[in-house]
Amino acid sequence: MLRAFALGLIAGAVYFTGTLYWITRVMMMYGGLQLWVAVLVNAALIAYLALYPAVFALVMRRLLAANGRTAMLAAPFVWTATELGRTHLFTGFPWVLLGYSQVTVLPIAQLASLVGVFGVSALVASASAALAFAALSATATAAPGSSRTFSVPRPYVPFTAVVAMIVAIAAWGSLRLKRSELTRQGDVVRVGLIQGNVEQSEREDPARQPAIFQSYLRMTRQAIGEGAELVLWPESSTPFYFEEDRPGADQVRTLARQAHVPILLGSDQIGWETKNGQRVPAKYYNSAFLVRADGTTAGYYRKMHLVPFGEYVPLKRLFFFAAPLVQAVSDFSPGDSAALLEVRLKADAAGDGTTASGERTHLMSTAICYEIVYPDLVRQFVVAGSELLSTITNDAWFGKTSAPYQHFAQASMRAIEEGRYLVRSANTGISGVVDPYGRVLVETSLYEPAVVVAEARFLTAATVYSRVGDVFAYASVVLTIAWLVVARRRVQ
């Protein structure tokens, strides 16, 4: 058992070191840590995440001891259970789940519209499990100490079944892509995406902030001139608190009012309270504001899932040796509501969603930064009525690493799951539009200023996943627990 746990831990450490290496750079450059301290902090995170593959290996060893190599058939469900745990335990960190490996293999990725990314993870795991079963069958008829009482399938049966399942899913997915019914439904909107390409050091330089803000206004005018009906700025794009800086906010409101175009922008927000008769700041939020076409504020959304070591430091006492990081990280508070934002657009000839005032009214949602990797959060938006998914982010922290590509790929999976267009504005890239089938309609390059105007649609149709959520993943947890209970009885 100890050997299985150790092997799982090593496998997890290799996987997460290869995919999360960039966190060390982030903590050095923006957390003020020395190299050895940054490596130590990142190693602690990787060690924690590696526990999930270790638990998977431990559970599988237990099942194999009780049932022989037939237990390999349970591997997809056990793996899915551990991924669900990683998504939710200790606020969760569901970065680079196994299913994301298929996000560009669009026929296979369509499975996410039924069972979410966890179901795609299970499919990938099932292919590995079938191969492992065949390999074990070639060397032994049953695991040592097995007390199974049922027959073992022939080596080729599970493999053939998995291949047939993959072929069937690919055929169905290809047909779904060919039909693309959602791309002909709903109300069309031309979205302008602003990519300011502002380095983090520039953003924090007071001398550069006025010029940065003016560049956003200029790029917004360009997008509107190219036909944008809705404009998105990235996360934390304003160099001031939007609600507190009247002159700066008024310039945004005036632009929206003059062009009659709503603007979604990212800005920090202060939560005030009254103490001893005085109004004092109590909390700080990473927020998104929607400015209506008449210049008023339609609403705001406060980020609910904060970035560990970026927006808060978990277990501060444990990471006492990373004092500069604790001091450098903004101490944000999480929001508590998956708020939607009402978008009012000019009426069109079709009159889709047109109100008595002659406007088209729709609901959209926005996920800030890495919130987009939480499937259930995005589903909450859709269940509440979101017709368009948006995400705003500042990926300047990542530098020229694989992280921005990972982030964009994971965001794309949300479009497939929910059957919604996804529009993404990123400070340094990748900005883009993804259709409800995961096809990237337009995307920008990294570290280049860009103004993108592209079509998306407000949609209301529901996918199976948006209706039932992570039922498959939770069923995998139940099955794993049940198998462990049965295995315990067999080995006693």
Q: Which residues are catalytic?
A: 235, 303, 369
Distance CA 191, CA 196 (A): 16
Q: Residue 273, SS3?
A: strand
- Give the alpha-carbon dihedral of 176, 178, 184, 186, to 10 degrees: 20
Distance CA 235, CA 431 (A): 12
Task: Return phi, psi of residue 364, to 5°.
Answer: -130, 165
Task: Return phi, psi of residue 324, to 5°.
Answer: -60, -35
Q: Residue 345, SS3?
A: strand
Among left, alpha and beta (phi > 0; psi -120 to 50; other), residue 110 is alpha
**CA atoms within 13 A of residue 187's CA, in its CB half-sphere:** 24
Longest Cα–Cα distance of the chain, Å, equals 78
Distance CA 95, CA 367 (A): 15
